[in-house]
Amino acid sequence: MAPSRALIRPTANLIRHTKPSPTTLLLRHHRQASTTFPSDSELPPPSQSSSQPLPPPPQQPSVNALPPPKLKPLTEAQRSFLSSCLRVNQAGELAATLIYTAQTPPVLAREPHLAPLMRHMYDQEAAHLRTFNALIAKHRVRPTALYPLWSVLATGLGWTTAVMGREAAMACTEAVETEIGDHYNGQIRRLLEMVSQWEEEGYEVGEEFRELIGTLRRIRDEELEHLDHAVEHDAQKAEPHWLLTGVIRAGCRGAIWVSERV
Ligand SMILES: [Fe+2]
Ligand SMILES: [Fe+2]
């Protein structure tokens, strides 16, 4: 059964978010925490016999002394990076659902046994898109302004490769997922660098930030699973494979570069 295009609709509504605003919630977890615990120097010494003098009472902290911040505020560059991550990921996942939507009818017309595979990959892409739709709305990130252009190009790419045959359709998936896998890996690396830096400086890392990294890892793994499926289904027998995958990969890199910025 061909996937429904209705999934695009909620995303299209997000385009109306024209007011750019910071990734508010990721910032929110970086507010100062109020809970503090006594340091080792404030703890009473181990139990002593009654013949020994009582230890001095622990000193009360000054009312004016603020606890050190437990979560470090994001810099402007980090905020901008997180916004661009969500924007480009949402655009990419929209493109992926449109590629599979366009590919499925021509591919299944010749190879109906591929229906479960096409359905499985589409369903995962649709779930990725829902994830980033939710994140982009939650953090009030502006979606890419080139949304309509990417939609047309993705549909055209999916339909063209599917009409060329199963091998070309799978080569398209191979090329796209190779670039997307690298793209997610780059984001995960950068976020892990931020985590390492905060930990070295003695700050805590918010649960929401860790969840974002976990989400990106899970989606990255699913994209690489699609890459494996494509290769298993003769992607590399497409003619001419080098040209097809080269052009699609270059197109993906260009689209990623632009969507991060526009
Ligand atoms: Fe995806
Ligand atoms: Fe994918």
Amino acid at 115: A
Q: Which residue has the tokens 């949304």?
A: 147
23, two tokens: 């990734």
Q: Model confidence over 174-231: pLDDT tens digits? A: 999 999 999 999 999 999 999 999 888 888 888 889 999 999 999 999 999 999 999 9
Going from the Cα of 5 to the center of ligand 1, the distance in angstroms, rounded, reads 16
114, two tokens: 């591929």
Per-residue confidence (pLDDT) for residue 216, from 0 to 100? 96
Q: Under the phi-then-psi rule, with left for phi > 0, alpha for psi from -120 to 50, and beta for the rest, what region is 202?
A: left
Which ligand is closest to the CA of 130, given by its number? Answer: 1
Going from the Cα of 124 to the center of ligand 2, the distance in angstroms, rounded, reads 7
- Collapsing DSSP to helix, strand or coil, 204 comes out as strand
Q: Which residue has the tokens 């909620």?
A: 10
Per-residue confidence (pLDDT) for residue 162, from 0 to 100? 94
Q: In terms of Cα–Cα distance, which of 175, 154, 176, 178 is closest to 241?
A: 175
Going from the Cα of 93 to the center of ligand 1, the distance in angstroms, rounded, reads 5
Is 128 annotated to bind a ligand? Reply is yes
State the DSSP code for 43.
S
Per-residue confidence (pLDDT) for residue 57, from 0 to 100? 56
Is 125 annotated to bind a ligand? Reply is yes
CB 126 within 8 A of CB 96: no
Q: Under the phi-then-psi rule, with left for phi > 0, alpha for psi from -120 to 50, and beta for the rest, what region is 258?
A: alpha
Going from the Cα of 225 to the center of ligand 2, the distance in angstroms, rounded, reads 8
Cα separation, 60 vs 81, whole angstroms: 42
Predicted TM-score (pTM) of this structure = 0.72
Per-residue confidence (pLDDT) for residue 61, from 0 to 100? 53
177, two tokens: 């997922």
Which ligand is closest to the CA of 132, given by its number? Answer: 1
Q: How far is CA 134 from CA 39, 108, 129, 137, 199, in A?
A: 41, 31, 8, 5, 28
- Collapsing DSSP to helix, strand or coil, 41 comes out as helix
Per-residue confidence (pLDDT) for residue 32, from 0 to 100? 39
Going from the Cα of 133 to the center of ligand 1, the distance in angstroms, rounded, reads 12
Is 93 annotated to bind a ligand? Reply is yes
Which ligand is closest to the CA of 175, given by its number? Answer: 2
The Cβ of residue 243 has, within 10 Å, a number of other Cβ atoms equal to 11
Is 30 annotated to bind a ligand? Reply is no
- Give the mean pLDDT per block of 10 residues along the chain (262 residues): 41 39 47 36 42 56 61 85 93 94 95 94 96 93 87 94 93 93 94 91 87 95 93 88 90 86 81
Per-residue confidence (pLDDT) for residue 228, from 0 to 100? 93
Per-residue confidence (pLDDT) for residue 68, from 0 to 100? 57
Cα separation, 82 vs 73, whole angstroms: 13
